[in-house]
Amino acid sequence: MKTLIKSLFLIVLSVCFIACNSNTKTTENTNDTTSNEVSNEKTGQAFIKDEGGTPNALQLAIGSDDHSTLVAAVQAAGVENALVNVGPLTVFAPNNAGFAKIDEATLNDLLKPENKSKLAFILTHHVAPANYPVETLKKNALKNRKLYMASGKYLEVTEKDGDIYVDGVKIIATVNVSNGWVHVTEDVILPRD
Amino acid sequence: MNTIGKYLLGITALIFMTNCGNNNNNNNNSNSGAMSSSKAEKVYVAPGEHDEYYAFMSGGYSGNLTVYGLPSGRMLKEIPVFSQFPTSGYGYSEETKPMLNTSFGFVPWGDSHHPDISQTKGELDGRWIFINENNTPRIARISLETFETEEIIEIPNSAGNHASSFVTENTEYIVAGTRFAVPNPQRDMPISEMKGQFKGPLSFVSIADNGRLNLEFQLNMPGFNYDLSHPGRNKSHGWFFFTSYNTEEANTLMEVNASQNDKDYIAAVNWKKVEEYVKNGGGEKVAGTYAHNVYDEKTHTATSTMKEGVISVDPRKVEGAVFYIPIPKSPHGCDVDPSGEYIIGSGKLSTDLSVYSFEKMLTAIENKDFVDDAYGIPVLSYENTIAGVVTQPGLGPLHTEFDGQGNAYTTFFISSEVVKWKLGTWEILDRQPTFYSVGHLMIPGGNSRKPFGKYMVAMNKITKDRYLPTGPELEHSAQLYDISGDKMELLLDFPTHGEPHYAAGIRADIIKEKSKKYYELSENEHPYVAKSESEATVTRNGKEVHISMTMIRSHFSPDNIEGVKVGDKVYLHMTNLEQDFDVPHGFSIIGANTSEILVMPGQTKTIIWEPKREGVWPFYCTDFCSALHQEMQGYIRVSAANSNTPLKFTLDDE
């Protein structure tokens, strides 16, 4: 059933993309966005055909079955370009199980179209414009150095029994990507305020 | 999970549909079909016609300055400034080698950054363009009549001259900053002890009416990294504003350690007060060796003078002259709007743009509304100086320019876009993507009281797929936008040379009429000039041979020379006798360990040739000057070091 939903989800997504694309063929580069999120246009580095080479943070997430919810959220919020930038970036990437832990009401609210910028804010709260491999995170925990996120807020790093936590959220895996680091987390990191 | 999955599915689909709907709604504003052909018309400059604007783009690590026409995006010229340029012989010819002299000796390369055009009463006057060098701190002045580098001054006691070469509104001063705090004076000390010991001097260089640069004084600021700057203008004329980062004073792993403080500082400097202080004998003369290189248009020769000592001013000793304003997260750009009221600081890691009010700053200073001090320099309160905040405009704000219509345009590196917003209301009016990761942007005149708010050029750091691939190394891409309407409209992509950190633009009619066409031969005061073929000579002085040769379509005079010997040092002084627009002649000879030289009409240039082998060696004109260009050639006979071949020089056996 889960798989079915996933596939359904992807199919609907693709249909939407196709629909959008056919529209953009006739509209070409229109952009009326004046709201306070990053460009929602499907142009930019995220859409470069770039085969071969080490994948960037977005490509890695797209290629991972366990991050389909994150990818969908990123695409819904239109923040793809923030993840393919030359960086350096450090991305805390909640897996699908992590997203599943959010209570329904919260998620429901977040995914409302009018809350698109709120969703973008939460996602950028998972991205640091910095180079944070595991060793640096450990050092940051030791030296009490906080992480400044693209949301403009900070995350606290702690180390317990050899595991690293950001604002209490555990990192369960780490991948070196072409534009920085992706740390897989088992929860979504919700901004404190 | 299932329920959530469904929600996500449904809602995501909704969002996409909404997006699609938006696109449909915007059809009327779109630029497809007939409208996109009007884009082509907007950048089309018909054959033989001229562009409306000059754009001068810094060459970054090329060390040079490139000249473009706008709106066509055609490159018109590369002006050598801080780097040797074999195309013309700049930095290779004996006359121009002194231009690249420094207190460290001859440096063949530089990292050029921020060009700025001279101003009178806050408007671009088109006399000169200045550009700074980051690595070996220097400032250059380039004539906008000859488009040649006329002067380079080195900045001592400094490192990383990045916050430069911005010019005040009557071209009183250009500044130079210190991006890498260093011991001042330089000394052998442990790196780890930098905190409180390193300094960040800010240098003020005056410009005389004839353009001559003079290092007037250095403000010996605390050792933060002074990154960018702009002068106050209009109501804030007399002030200079500098952003600084690394107020942490970290000396290692800066990408982490220099990003710890919530706020760094903008330094606000009342330079008129400091100027007065120095005029009244303030400051102390400290050590500092620097080269001052000046090119003389009459002798066509540069001279390098090594100067010693500079007036150093302790900012704490000048009452009411230097203040810090807190600014979030490692600021980069520091821009002042045309009215002089707003100072925009871009915290490059911040998600907001902070806009400060000059009036509020003055009030805060008057009320001594200080929250702190940093090494004795008063820190004003953020709350009482801030005019407004542009909230969440994008990711990675860097630089802001103005259109003169009350709008500001800011680049965002991480989210790759330019955002247009309104001064005073801080509302976001438009956003357009750039391709990709934009650094600086330039609106011609955008740093003056009167911007020409028609075009905006975005200068990107990443090119990727924008042009036909050319291997791993790609020229940086620039995009031209029409900003005359409510929305920015992307018109054109064009590649730039080197890394254009910044650019300056000016309406072409301000400078094009006075552009020099050739140099008056009668005014040529080069010591080895030959003003006619009859003046051409060859003289020997020990092992030195001086050949004063002329060039005219389509021969050299003399073109047969004998009596040169292996081990001689031969000076080839070439004078172009032409007095006509665009008829340079070039010169090169086999075995010369230097570049060719390109000699403009009426000019004299010299290269040295040290023949190592006996024989008869040809030389020729390297510039296709005329129908008989291929015939513009000659020979020098080289005999053995101990031979008795007499010195002889002829043209047509005479």
The DSSP string of B133-169 is ETTTTEEEEEETTT-SEEEEEE-TT-----S---B-T
Q: Report chain B residues whose CB lies below 8 A from the CB of A85.
A: 396, 413-416, 436-437
Distance from C-alpha of A67 to C-alpha of A61, rounded to nearest angstrom:
6
Q: Which residues of chain A make contact with B350, given a CB cutoff of 8 A?
A: 152
For residue range B213-267, what is the model confidence (pLDDT) as tens digits? 999 999 999 999 999 999 999 999 999 999 999 999 999 988 888 888 889 999 9
Residue B109's pLDDT is what?
98
Q: What is the pLDDT of residue A107?
A: 78
Q: Do the beta carbons of residue B169 and residue B233 sit within 8 Å?
A: yes
Residues A14-38 have a mean pLDDT of 38
Confidence of residue A22 (pLDDT cuts 50, 70, 90): very low
CA B546 to centroid of chain Cα atoms: 37
Cβ pair B435:A44 closer than 8 A: yes
Q: How far apart are CA B28 and CA B217, in angstroms?
A: 58
Chain A residues touching residue B389 (CB < 8 angstroms): none
Residues of B in contact with A20 (CB under 8 A): 16, 19-20, 23
State the pLDDT at residue A151. 86
Separate counts of helices (H) and strands (E) for chain A: 8, 8
pLDDT on residue A51: 66
Cross-chain residue pair A12–B12, CB shorter than 8 Å: yes
Cβ–Cβ of A19/B20 closer than 8 Å?
A: yes
Contacts of A116 in chain B (CB under 8 A): 15
- The pLDDT score that the predictor gives to residue B261 is 86
Cβ-proximal residues to A91 (8 Å cutoff; 6+ apart), any chain = A57, A61, A83, A126, A127, A128, A177, A180, A181, A182, A183
B324-347 per-position pLDDT tens digit: 999 988 899 999 999 999 999 998
Cα-to-chain-centroid distance, residue B182 = 23
Task: Provide the pLDDT for residue A98.
Answer: 94
> Higher confidence at residue B396 or residue B126?
B126
A26 touches chain B (CB under 8 A): yes
Q: What is the pLDDT of residue B256?
A: 83
What is the pLDDT averaged over residues B197-205?
Answer: 97
Instruction: State the best of B29, B30, B254, B407 to mutate against chain A, taking most chain A CBs within 10 Å.
Output: B30
Nearest-CA distance A36 → chain B (Å) = 6
Residue A24 reports pLDDT greater than 70: no
Nearest-Cα distance to chain B for A39, in Å, is 7
The token pair that represents B33 in the structure block: 């079909």
Q: Where are the alpha helices (DSSP H) in chain A?
A: 2-27, 57-62, 68-77, 80-84, 96-100, 104-110, 116-124, 134-142
CA gap B387, B425 in Å, rounded: 10
pLDDT tens, position by position, B147-193: 999 999 999 999 999 999 999 999 999 999 999 999 999 999 999 99
Residue scoring higher pLDDT (B597 or A85): B597
Q: Looking at beta carbons, which residues of chain B come within 8 Å of A12?
A: 9, 12-13
Scanning every residue of chain B, which has its alpha carbon at the shortest distance from the alpha carbon of A28? B32
Task: Retrieve residue A90's tokens.
Answer: 């450090």
Residue in B closest to A124 by C-alpha: B395
Residues of chain A numbered 31-90 and touching chain B (CB < 8 Å):
31-41, 43-45, 48-50, 69, 72-73, 75-76, 78, 81-82, 85-86, 88
> How many other C-beta atoms are found inside a 10 Å radius of the C-beta of residue B129?
28
- Determine the pLDDT at residue A10: 43
> Is there a contact between B414 and A33 if contact means CB atoms under 8 Å apart?
no
Given a cut of 60, whether residue B38 has pLDDT beyond it is yes
pLDDT band with cut points at 50, 70 and 90 for residue B23: very low
pLDDT at residue A28 in the model: 37
Residues paired with residue B504 on neighbouring β-strands, in sequence order: B56
Residue A49 pLDDT level (bands cut at 50, 70, 90): low
Q: What is the pTM of this model?
A: 0.89
Confidence (pLDDT) at A13? 42
Q: A28 at the B interface (CB within 8 A)?
A: yes
Paired strand residues for B265: B244, B326
Residue B54 and residue B506 in contact, taking contact as beta carbons nearer than 8 Å: yes
CATH 2.130.10.10, chain B: domain bounds: 53-234+258-273+284-514
Name every residue whose Cβ is closer than 8 Å to that of residue B63 and which is 6 or more positions away in sequence: B80, B81, B82, B83, B109, B110, B111, B112, B133, B498
Contacts of B591 (CB under 8 A, 6+ apart): B609, B611, B612, B613, B617
pLDDT the model gives residue B582: 95
Q: Which residue has the tokens 């920015």?
A: B488
B29/A30 touch (CB, cutoff 8 Å), yes or no: yes
CA atoms within 13 A on the CB side of B417: 28
d(Cα A117, Cα A127) in Å, to the nearest integer? 15
Q: What is the 3-state secondary structure (H, E, C) of B56-88?
A: EEECHHHCCEEEEEECCCEEEEEECCCCCECCC
CA A4 to chain centre: 23
Do the chains contact at B351 and A43, CB–CB below 8 Å? Answer: no
B646 SS3 class:
coil
Q: What gap in Å lies between CA A93 and CA A166, rounded to an integer?
A: 12
Rounded to the nearest integer, the mean pLDDT of chain B is: 93
User: Quick one: B605 exposed, middle or buried, by C-beta within 10 A (0-12, 13-18, 19+)?
Assistant: buried
Helices (H) then strands (E): counts for chain B: 5, 45
Paired with B207 in beta bridges are: B213
Contacts of A112 in chain B (CB under 8 A): 11
User: Encoding tokens for residue B153?
Assistant: 């001054």
CATH of the domain spanning B521-650, picked from 3.30.1120.80, 3.30.450.40, 2.60.40.420, 3.40.50.280: 2.60.40.420
pLDDT tens-digit map of A118-171? 898 999 999 998 899 999 999 999 999 999 898 888 999 999 999 999 999 999
| Residues B155 and B162 sit within 8 Å (Cβ to Cβ) | no
Query: Least CA distance to B11: which residue of chain A?
Result: A111
Cβ of B2 within 8 Å of Cβ of A2? The answer is: yes
Please spell the DSSP secondary structure of B493-547, one letter per residue: EEE-SS----EEEEEGGGTGGG------GGG---TT--SSGGG-EEEEETTEEEE
Share of chain A above pLDDT 70, in %: 75
Calculated CA dihedral for residues A31, A34, A40, A43, nearest 10 degrees: 40
Amino acid residing at A78: G
Domain edges within chain A: 53-193
**Strands in B365-416 per DSSP E:** 370-374, 377-380, 386-390, 397-402, 407-412
Report the greatest alpha carbon distance in chain B: 103
All residues at 6 or more sequence positions from B209 whose CB lies less than 8 Å from its CB, including other chains: none
**Digit-coded pLDDT (tens) for B632-644:** 999 999 999 999 9
Phi, psi for residue B271 in degrees, rounded to 5: -70, -25
- The yes-or-no verdict on residue B13 having pLDDT over 80 is no
pLDDT digits (tens, 9 = 90+) for B566-586: 999 999 999 999 999 999 999
A 171-190 residues inside an 8 A Cβ radius of B = none
Nearest to B71 by CA among B53, B84, B86, B57: B53
Please choose, from the candidates B271, B260, B236, the residue with its C-alpha nearest in 3D space to the C-alpha of residue B356. B236
Residues B480-485 have a mean pLDDT of 97
Portion of chain B with pLDDT greater than 90, in percent: 89
- Give the nearest chain A residue to B28 (CA atoms): A27
Q: Could you tell me whether strands B65-70 and B74-79 are parallel, antiparallel, or unpaired per DSSP bridges?
A: antiparallel
Rounded to two decimals, the ipTM of the complex is 0.75
Return the C-alpha torsion angle B449, B455, B461, B463, nearest 10.
180
Q: How far is CA B435 from the centre of its chain?
A: 22
Q: Which residue of A has its CA nearest to B20?
A: A20
Architecture of domain B53-234+258-273+284-514: 7 Propeller (2.130)
Question: Contact B584/B597 with Cβ under 8 angstroms?
Answer: no
Crossing angle for the helix pair A68-77 and A2-27, to the nearest 10 degrees: 30
- Taking an 8 Å cut-off on Cβ atoms, the answer to whether A32 and B29 are in contact is yes
- For B238, the token pair is 């007399």
Per-residue confidence at B14, pLDDT binned at 50, 70, 90?
very low
Q: A81–B415: do the CB atoms touch at under 8 Å?
A: yes
Structure tokens at B245: 């980062």
Distances (CA, A) of A124 to A37, A111, A189, B353, B618: 10, 15, 10, 17, 67
pLDDT in tens, B52-79: 999 999 999 999 999 999 999 999 999 9
Please list every residue in chain A whose beta carbon sits closer than 8 Å to the beta carbon of residue B415.
38-39, 81-82, 85
Segment 116-145 of chain A within 8 Å of chain B by CB: 116-117, 121, 124, 129-131, 136, 140, 145
Dist. CA A66–CA A68, nearest whole Å:
6
Q: Cα B54 to the chain's mean position, in Å?
A: 14
Token representation of residue B550: 């002329």
Q: How far is residue A32's CA from residue A17's CA, in Å, rounded to a whole number?
A: 19
Residue whose token pair is 């031979």: B643
Does A85 sit within 8 Å of B19, measured CB to CB?
no
Q: Do A50 and B429 touch (CB under 8 A)?
A: no
Q: What is the pLDDT of residues B104-113, one digit of tens each?
A: 999 999 999 9
CB-closest option in B11, B415, B430 to A34: B430
| Chain B residues inside the 8 Å CB shell of A59 | none
Contact A76 B11 (CB under 8 A): yes
CATH number of A53-193: 2.30.180.10
* A–B interface: beta-carbon pairs under 8 A: 193
Q: Which residues sit opposite B102 in a β-bridge?
A: B105
User: What are the structure tokens assigned to B434, written together?
Assistant: 């750039």
- Is the C-alpha dihedral spanning B400, B504, B203, B270 positive or negative? negative
Q: What chain B residue is nearest to A87 in terms of C-alpha separation?
A: B414
Tell me which chain B residues have a C-beta less than 8 angstroms from the C-beta of A29. 30-31, 490
Q: CA-CA distances (angstroms) from residue B572 to A40, B201, B619? A: 63, 43, 11
> For residue B124, with 0-12 CB atoms within 10 Å meaning exposed, 13-18 middle and 19 or more buried, which class applies?
buried
For residues B489 and A150, what is the distance between their CA atoms, to the nearest angstrom? 28
Q: Do B570 and B547 touch, CB atoms closer than 8 A?
A: yes
The pLDDT of residue A16:
39
pLDDT of B29 reads 43
